[in-house]
Every structure is written in structure tokens, then in C-alpha cells.
A and B are shown apart, each in its own frame.
Chain A
Amino acid sequence: MIVPLTTTKIGEQVRVSCLNCTSEDTCRLQELGCVEGATGTVVSNQKNIILQVGECRLAITHPLAMNILVEPVSKKK
């Protein structure tokens, strides 16, 4: 199941599956480690999103977050 990042809940673990934005923004996200296949945790979702990818905490505003498609993954024990 693939959903936009904006529909995820706090604490949810997600895998980035498709970055669906204009190329410039995509490049910036990728440079920050948010590449396809990377897993992250949703730290906050109040319209704008904070996504923790690895050790890096990314603040992403709503319009950009809508263009990030993710796949929820179940938490590893």
C-alpha cells in the first residue's frame, strides 16, 4: 500500500517509495538522505511533517510532503 506522507500517523515507520515532485525539490530531498528505499519514522504530523530518516530530522511542509509517496512498514521487534 502506497500513500502520501501527509496521511501517515505519528510514530509510524515508512519506506520512501516514490518522490513525486519537480526535479529541483526532489534533488534537495535526496541530498538530505530521503532517497527512494530509505526508511524513516514520522515524528510529527500536524499538516507539516517532521520525518526522521536515519539520524537526520527533516522538517517538511505540507505541499512538499504531499508529493512524497511512502509505504508503511511494520516495526521490527
Chain B
Amino acid sequence: MSNQTINVQKELLRQPSTIALVGNPNTGKSTIFNALTGLRQKIANYPGITVERKMGTTIINGVLHKIIDLPGAYSLNHKKADERISYETLIGSYDHEEKPDLLLMVVDASNLERNLFLASQVMDLQIPMLMVLTMSDIADERGIRIQSQQLSNVWGVPVISINARSKQCDVQIKQALVEQGVATPKPFQWNPSKPLRQAVERLDKEWLSEHTQLPERARPIEALRLLAEGSLEDSFYQYSEEGKAKKLIEELQNTLEAQGENPTAAEVVQRYRFIGDSSEGSVTKEQRDEQTWTDRLDNVLTHRVAGPVIFVLVLLVMFQSIFSWATPFMDMIDMLFIEFGAFVGSSLPAGLLNSLLVDGIIAGLGGVVIFLPQIIFLFLFIYFLEGTGYMARAAFVMDGFMTKVGLHGRSVVPLMSGFACAIPGIMATRTIENWRDRLITIMILPFMACSARLPVYAVMIAAFVPDKRVIGFLTLQGLVFFGLYLFGIVMAVGSAAVMKRIFPTGKPTPFLMELPPYKWPNVSSVVIQSLERGKIFVTEAGKIIVAISIILWVLASFPTYEPTASDLADMDANGQTSEQMISTLQLNQSYAGTFGQWIEPAIEPLGFDWKIGIGLLTSFAAREVMVGTLNTIYSIEETEEQLGLIERLRSETDPETGLPKYTLATALSLMIFFAIAMQCMSTLAIVKRETNSWKWPLVMFGYMTVLAYFSAWITYEWANTFLLG
């Protein structure tokens, strides 16, 4: 290997510039991004966590620079939606967004050769860079020694070695940028063979430069890709005269073959050969034969039989624990809100404002904030699992099953994130290569019981399912809760199996994934990220809930009701407190009441009365609003003593029969409705964006709503006949 003088550029950093983080998946790009910008991008031990470009800023030596975090990529041959974003950012094909002036080329030191493959491709683009070796701690542990200076001499760019998780990470990188600077790498350092070089030149000259809009520095990379894949299909550019290109590519491939080169492998093999040769002087590894922890765990967790069983157990423990561990915290919040409401109620003069604050806003908000503990526990669990590296194994062991039902092993992680919220789940499908697999995953993802459904499930279960211990740590309430999650999964799988038949089949993409080594998750980042999600839940849900609570309070309080003489006579006869009675009559003849009773016939078959009906309508803004709505409605209607929502639901009676109005059948029907119905505007908006058409969100809304209505109906009838009859 010939050493070269590095053409260091330091002046670049004196003016504001745009710095992009590029590298393989799961190498610590987002960890560095967070350290430099102070932002909180999601980090986890799974290849493919970042799926969109994210901007931040950092100050180096008094100058403000923009930092871009990119999705990880194994190569620039951009096959998946997330990889494509990195490629397009690098070549600057987003017109409206600036292209990076310099790069932090992130390279995993514990997996150097594989990472240098992408690095060598990126170097061909000739953007000034600093190479950042991450995971130096893991490399040390495994006995891998890297001579940074040597590496720097070979590739002609400055190199630093860091542990991205350490506190000084940002300081180290800034210091390196200032002291060592960046350098523009020379293209084609990997010495492509003469035939390959000639083929690239011809494809560039005769096709790419004339007929495409590709920037000059990107053309050789595109030429190599076209030669290897031989098809124009996967290119994201409009080509004119495609026929000519196809003929040319075919001719060049044949020439290569005649010269003894395998066109599909030539580039990769030659790059790897160069990397292998060049690492000889700079990387040493102690031979160690002992079994690592990763080996031992993988023996169990990826076992054909034990693997899937363990996965289901993990889910079971997760749902049981969020249900039971969160209870004490929820009781505390409940207490706080009741006290606070009482305090505000008594310290303000009685009247409209008092009622709006206490019955409208505080009640509505309290009804939802109470679920914060469960949501934080759920996120803690998911982030913890993702941090360990287990999720890649789960994807692997579930692939066989997933493929059978029309999904893909890579669907597992998006579906799991769907338990938290459908939106990040749908975004995460960008890591699925095959469009049909991706579309089916998106279309069924909202069946995964997201955290916004949790409040509704929790209220209904607590009110109507007996609190009995079944076996061990499992309670009946916990089991019903798990049953609902399972129901969502079954619906998802069933619908996927149906869609698999409807959508045209393409060539299946076999499962292939890198399994990252197991790691102890970074506890503080897991906790911070979960709390962050909790905060988002409260502020986002809070905004909608405050708005809807106010509107609803107005609709339920007006027109104000003046009791007639005959009403008063009735009350005396029934021996009811007149205030209670008046509040009920007030509610019934309010705008909300009138409207609710008008739609009641439509939902009566499902066992819902108009109060639930109003709740359902408001829940189309966001599911968790349902509980807030019920809370507001019930606060306006007064009772003898201050009761929580759960008691109110239990004690609601039918004025005609005197029997409880809501039963287990109502609860089950409502929960089934919530499990299936598509009641989330934001999800529909994201589906529109990711599928680039209104067709799919509309189809999704339609089929889920119809399915929800009929399933709830059947459930209600069934429960009335078999459970209560």
C-alpha cells in the first residue's frame, strides 16, 4: 500500500457549513448526532433505526454548523427507501435542501472491513471528510487493534477513534475537526481493474452524462450500480431513451464477461480485495476461541422452537407488567387531579368559569394524563428491548411465520413499534425492501394496539372485568388486557393473509439481516427517551383534549335548562335530589345530548348509548380523547358524591328498567370497536405521505371502520347471549 500525503483542509470550518453523518446502519451515527447537537434522535441496537434525515446545529470554534443525521446504508446502491435518502443527500439531488459540504464518515471499528466498503464508495464522491471510528471500546474488548495513523495514510483522510457513548465524544470530534481538519479523498483508490474502469467510463460518457441529470461526481457510482444490476428499474430518475441504455449496459456486461470479469460481482469483490489488502498493516486481531455472550444467547434466542416461544413470552410479560406495575402511579395521578379539581372548584366562585375549568378542562385532562405511567412503562420496555439487540433476533425467528402471512421478518420491528404508536411504526417500514411487503405492513399496522387505546382498555377493564388472580402473577384483568393485544395481532395477521391474496405477488425478498452483538442498553438514554415520549403524549394529547373539552363543555352545558313546574313535581315524587335530576335533564337536552340521541340508533346495536357515541365521535380526532370526553360529560352530570369515571360507568343505570346501563357486554363491544377502528387522523396523514397517494389511507379507513362496526355488533350479541344470558 502506498502512503499518500493528506490534503488537509481546515479553512472549511471557519465558515458555516453543512456536515452530514454517513455510515453503515447501527454504527453510532445518531449517538454522535445527539452528542453534537443536544437533540434526542432515537438510538437503538438494531440496524435501521433512523429512517429520515434529521437536522441539528452545533458550534465549532465559535462558528455555527448544520449537522445532518442520515439513515444507515450498507452501500450506495440505494435499494430501500431509507438507504435512498442517504444516497440522494450525498449526491445533492434534493434541490430544496442543501447538500453536505463535509462528512463525518462513521465507521464501526469492531467491524472495520465491512464498514470500509461503504466508506470506499462514499470516497468516490470526493466530499471532504473526517473518518470517525466508533465502538472503539468494543474493538478493544475483542482484541482488535487499529492503527489510526496507518489507516489515515492508506485512505488519505484524517481518522479519529472514539467511543460514541462516552461523555467526551462531542469534544473529541470537534477537536479533531479543528486540529486534524478534513480532507477530500481521491476517487477510485481501490484500483478498479482496467476492464471495469473502461466500462464505467463508457457508460458515463455515452449515457449518463448526456441523458441524465445526475451530478458529475455521482455518475461513476451510478454506472457501477447499473453494470452490476443490469436493470434501470430500480433507478429513481427519469431516463429518456431507456432502450438505448439497456442495450449499452448489456453490451458492456458482455465485454466484461469476455475479459474474465463477473459483472455482478466485480465492483464488490475488487473493493473488498483492496480493503483486505490495505488493512493488513493497520488492523491486528488476537485470536480468541472462547464462546462469547452473544454466542450463548443466540443459541437459545434464535432456536427454531425456543426462539418464537420466547418472543411470545416477552410480549406477555410486557403487557402484564405495564398493566400491573403502573397501577400505583396511576392511582397517585388520579388522586392529584381530584384534589386539584376540588381545590380549584372551591377557590373560584361558582359559575360558568368554575364549571368550565373543573368539569371541562381539568376533568378531561385528568382522564388522560392518568395513563402516563402505563405509556412510560411501555416505552421503557420497548426501548430497553431494542437497546439490547434482541429485536434483530425476533425479526429473524419470526420471518418464517411472517412470510407465510404475506409479511416479512423485517415487519416485526415496525409492528412492535406499533404498540407504542402507529406513526413511528409506519415510518419504520422504510427498512422493508419489497414494496408489496411494505404496503401490507403499513395497511395492517394500525391493528397493533397503540398506546392511545390503552386508556380506553384500562378504563373498561377496570370497570367491568372482575379482579381475580388466575395463575401465578397473571390476573384475569391482565389476561383480558393481553387478549386485546393478541386480538389486534390476530386481526393484523388475518388481514395480511387476505391482502397477500389480493395484491399481486412479486418476487419475494429473502430475509437477510446483520445481527448486532448484544449490548447492555444505555440506561440513561432509554429512560430519557421514554420520558420524552411521555412528555409528547401529555402535550400532544393535552392540546387536543383541552380544545375538545372546551367545545364539548359548551355543547353539553348549553342551551341552559330551566326546570318546569311538572319536572319539579316529578322529582319530588321520585324523592331524588333535585340538583342531580336537573343536571341530568340539562345534559339530555343540551346540544351534545340532542345530537347524541340523534345518532344513538346507529350505535345502539353495538350496545352504546349516546354518551359513548359522543365519545366515539371525538375519538376520531385521537383515540385517547374518548376517556377525556366521558370524563367531561360525567362531570357535568352531578352525583351525590364525587365519583371517579370508573365508578360512574359502573353505577350508570337505565332510567326505564333500573338495571345497570353498561355491562361486560358493552365493555367488550367497545373495546373490540377500539381495537379495530381507524380513529387517528395523524396515522392517515402519514400513510398518505409514505404511500404517496390518497388511495391507501382511504382504503384503510374504510375497511377498518366497517370491520370494527360489525365485529363490535357480533361481540355485543355474543356476550349478551353467552356471558350474561
Interface residues of A, Cβ cutoff 8 Å to B:
19, 22-33, 35-38, 43-44, 46-48, 50, 54-61, 63-64
Contacts and interface: CB of A to CB of B under 8 A. Distances in A.
Interface of B: 74-75, 77, 79, 110-114, 117, 142, 144, 228-230, 264-265, 268-269, 272, 294-295, 298-299, 302-304, 392-393, 396, 399-400, 409, 507-517
Contacts of A31: 74-75, 77, 117, 268
A60 B229 contact: no
15 contacts: A25-B509, A27-B268, A32-B512, A33-B113, A33-B114, A33-B117, A35-B272, A43-B298, A44-B299, A47-B304, A47-B400, A54-B114, A58-B515, A59-B392, A61-B400
A60 B269 contact: no
Nearest to B392: A59
Contacts of A44: 298-299, 302
B295 A43 contact: yes
A8 to B, nearest CB: 16
A27 B400 CA distance: 22
Contacts of B265: 19, 26, 30, 35-36
B303 A57 contact: no
Given A44-B298, A54-B111, A58-B515, A30 B229 contact: no
B298 A24 contact: no
Contact of B114 (A23, A47, A56): A56
A19 to B, nearest CB: 7
A16 B651 CA distance: 71
Contact of A58 (B112, B264, B409, B514): B514
Contact of B510 (A43, A46, A63): A63
Contacts of A61: 396, 399-400, 409, 510-512
Nearest to B228: A27
A50 to B, nearest CB: 6
Dominant secondary structure at the A interface:
mixed
Contacts of A63: 508, 510
Nearest to B110: A55
A31 to B, nearest CB: 4
Given A56-B111, A59-B515, A60-B512, 15 more contacts: A27-B75, A27-B268, A30-B269, A33-B113, A36-B265, A38-B272, A43-B295, A46-B302, A47-B304, A55-B142, A58-B513, A58-B515, A59-B302, A59-B396, A59-B513
B515 A33 contact: no
Contacts, number: 114
Contacts of A58: 512-515
A25 B294 CA distance: 26
Contacts of B507: 22
B511 A64 contact: yes
A49 to B, nearest CB: 10
Contacts of A27: 75, 77, 228-229, 264, 268
Name the residue among B74, B117, B508, B512 with the largest chain A CB count within 10 angstroms. B512
Contacts of B79: 24, 28
Nearest to A19: B265
Nearest to A55: B111
A28 B142 CA distance: 26
Contacts of A38: 272
Nearest to B289: A75
B264 A59 contact: no
Name the residue among A25, A26, A33, A43 with the largest chain B CB count within 10 angstroms. A33
Given A23-B228, A48-B400, A61-B399, A32 B269 contact: no
B514 A57 contact: yes
A17 B689 CA distance: 43
A48 B301 CA distance: 13
B110 A50 contact: no
A18 to B, nearest CB: 10
Contacts of B112: 55
B137 to A, nearest CB: 14
Given A31-B117, A31-B268, A33-B114, A59 B511 contact: yes
Contacts of B512: 25, 28-29, 32, 58-61, 64
Contacts of B299: 44
Give 5 closest A-B pairs by Cβ, nearest first: A64-B510, A30-B268, A46-B304, A55-B111, A61-B511
A56 to B, nearest CB: 5
A26 B298 contact: no
A57 B304 contact: no
A77 to B, nearest CB: 10
A38 B399 CA distance: 26
Nearest to A65: B510
Contacts of B272: 30, 33, 35, 38
A28 B507 CA distance: 15
B228 A50 contact: no
Contacts of A23: 228-230, 264
B80 to A, nearest CB: 10
A54 B396 CA distance: 20
A48 B396 contact: yes
Given A23-B229, A28-B79, A50 B511 contact: no
Contacts of B114: 32-33, 54-56
Contacts of B228: 23, 27
Nearest to B111: A55
Contacts of B510: 25, 60-61, 63-64
Contacts of B516: 57
Contacts of A26: 264-265
Contacts of A55: 110-114, 142, 144
A56 B115 CA distance: 10
A55 B294 CA distance: 12
A47 B298 CA distance: 15
Name the residue among A43, A47, A58, A61 with the largest chain B CB count within 10 angstroms. A61
Contact of A46 (B303, B393, B514): B303
Contacts of A22: 507
Nearest to A26: B264
B547 to A, nearest CB: 47
A25 B144 CA distance: 30
Nearest to B399: A61
A59 B394 CA distance: 11
Given A25-B510, A57-B514, A36 B302 contact: no
Contacts of A50: 298, 302, 515
B147 to A, nearest CB: 17
Contacts of B517: 57
A21 to B, nearest CB: 8
A25 B510 CA distance: 8
Name the residue among A29, A32, A37 with the largest chain B CB count within 10 angstroms. A32
Contacts of B295: 43
A17 B720 CA distance: 66
Contacts of A33: 113-114, 117, 272
